[in-house]
Amino acid sequence: LTPKLSEEMRVSNMTLVAAFSAIGSAAAFTSRAAPRFAVRAATARAMSSDAGPFPCGDDEMPFYALGVNLAKQVGGQTGFKSLMSDEELDLVLKGFGEEICGTGISDGETILMTYGQELNKILQERSAGLVGRVKEEGEEFVQNFLDCNDDAVKTDSGLVYYSMTEGEGAQPAVTDTVEVHYHGTLIDGTVFDSSVDRGQTLSFPLGGVIKGWQEGVAMMKVGGKATLICPSELAYGEAGSGDKIPPGATLKFEVELFKVN
């Protein structure tokens, strides 16, 4: 899909990825590989009862799924919607359709050479503005949480720690492996990852997760439950994570600590 243009004129994959780093990476709080495109048909059909009916028949859905996969790779569920108007998004889809079908009236490489740099500038400026707004909303959420919870503590790093149940067991170090239940949400309450919802605890090396978890879980004791509010600097920063965690997002976790190894 990448045109062979001169390096200084073409719209490189790296530039586009950077512009949409607000939207793409890995989901949840651990470092996970992106899910593979292929999904067992039986599993997909079972999931459809929760997600609603599929838009096409079984023979057509693999091709529809290809379109979904391409959209997720480029911008996730929120990327283009956050950075472009509906009219601009229509133009994106028009350009994509005409180029892939070979029905465009202009040469694709010439279009990219002429307008590629302007596109990069637009995406970078809008991404920067979006990150700033998301961070400001996170700061307001943190302050409101502190105002409403007298026992909540804000550490020097910016982490907010609120003990819901005091534990009496071992207290982990960052070099330990811990077993926890967790429920992660954005500040608007949207759930992006939850072992509680899956009904299965998770064990992992504490030193291998986001900084907010490293600091916050290390403040807990086995048997305890706490709320951790992680500003973006202690979470996924300006890159965000997958199509669920926006760039600059402040994250809220409820964590219950079961075991320390």
182 is catalytic: yes
Cα separation values, 211 from 116, 177, 181, 214, 237, Å: 37, 15, 18, 5, 11
- 115 as an active site residue: the answer is no
User: What H or E segment, with its residue span, contains residue 15?
Assistant: helix 13-19
Token digits of residue 165 = 């149940």
Residue 253 known to be catalytic: yes
- Our answer to whether residue 204 is catalytic in this structure is no
Structure token digits, residue 228: 């951790």
* Token couple for 242: 């997958």
Catalytic-residue membership of 243: no
Which one from 162, 192, 229, 245 is the annotated catalytic residue?
A: 192
Of the candidates 29, 80, 145, 253, the residue annotated as catalytic is 253
Longest pairwise C-alpha distance within the chain: 71
Q: Which residue has the tokens 């379109």?
A: 67
| Catalytic residue chosen out of the listed positions 187, 236, 243, 245 | 236
Secondary element (H or E) of residue 43: helix 41-51
Of residues 23, 187, 210, 229, which has the active-site annotation?
A: 210
What residues contact 134, with CB distance under 8 A and at least 6 apart? 232, 246, 247, 248, 249, 250
> Is 64 an active-site residue?
no
Q: Do residues 225 and 250 touch, judged by C-beta distance below 8 A?
A: no
- Candidate list 182, 229, 243, 245, residue with the active-site label: 182
Catalytic, out of 193, 229, 243, 245: 193
Catalytic residues: 182, 192-193, 210, 236, 253
